[in-house]
Amino acid sequence: MRIARVFPTKTRMCPDDPDAYFGFPPENVPEYDEIHISVTFTWDIPKIERLQKAWSKYGFVKVGGPALGDPGSFFVPGLYLKHGATITSRGCPNKCSFCFVHRREGALRELPIVPGHIIQDNNLLACSERHVSKVFEMLQGQKKIDFVGGFEASRITPDLVSKLKQIKLYQLWLAYDTPQAKGAVENAIALLRPHFNQNKIRCYVLVGYGNDTVLEAQKRLEWVYNLGALPFAMLYHTHIEWKKLHRLWTRPAAMRSVMKLNEYN
């Protein structure tokens, strides 16, 4: 069966094979048995009807994806993510109010491990010790390993650090989503920093949620930087001031300039 995959928004994780398309059909599209429109972001939902109508000329159209509540029951390498990306578990045991994972994917489920160097699990360290060990066994044969799905900071242990030292790590990501996570983030970075430089330790920092202010968010981002990790602002609010903060604190070169300027003031 020949399947086309259509993505309303192109990201660096999208497949790049000839049967992957972005937005509306280009010229000379062949006929397909099925055309899957994969919607990752909620802001793309208004485009669905027009995309479905445009692509229906070339095959039977199915619409799904995370933005539409797809629980992700299985993982096929290269289908909706580029080759090299892998997902070894779905769901999360936490029920964070700002996160859709537990509502969309449900309880934590371990999947068959497909080789890859970009790990997209929502909460890999919440999996069983056996599963995590098998993932690291798989990673022994991989290069430029990126734990882009993020690690729950409270689950960083000396044993995990030992495992990380034995693989070809490109970068790992921590999560600093709530004020209550501050101590865990500090402890995690303290465990990691003696073995990995700042470029390898990234940290998602949720900004704009609840009663957050731009000033308080700025302080958290600078705090993470000063601990020895590179923060990445995860934007929850859409106001222009938050967008400015987001643009600055998602670019390492820009944030380094700001922090260097702060040293002179």
Q: What is the pLDDT along the chain (265 residues), one digit of tens a residue?
A: 899 999 999 999 999 999 999 999 999 999 999 999 999 988 999 999 999 999 999 999 999 998 898 888 789 999 999 999 999 999 988 887 777 787 788 889 999 999 999 999 999 999 999 999 999 999 999 999 999 999 999 999 999 999 999 999 999 999 999 888 999 999 999 999 999 999 999 999 999 988 899 999 999 999 999 999 999 999 887 777 898 999 999 999 999 998 988 776 5
Q: Are 164 and 195 in contact (CB under 8 A)?
A: yes
Q: Which of 209, 217, 216, 215 is nearest to 237 (CA)?
A: 209
Element (H, E) at 160: helix 158-165
What are the two backbone dihedrals, phi and then psi, of residue 199, each rounded to the nearest 5 degrees? -65, -25
pTM value?
Answer: 0.90
Distance separating alpha carbons of residues 157 and 114, to the nearest angstrom:
25
Q: Is 113 left (phi over 0), alpha (psi -120 to 50) or beta?
A: beta
Give the per-residue pLDDT at 99: 76
Helix (H) or strand (E) holding 55: helix 48-55
Per-residue confidence (pLDDT) for residue 162, from 0 to 100: 97
Domains of the chain listed by start with CATH number: 3-67 (no CATH), 72-264 (3.80.30)
The owner of tokens 């928004």 is 9
- The rounded distance, in Å, linking the Cα atoms of 154 and 183 is 9
- The span from the CA of 11 to the CA of 37, in Å, is 15
Q: What's the DSSP call for residue 245?
A: H
What is the reported pLDDT for 265?
Answer: 57
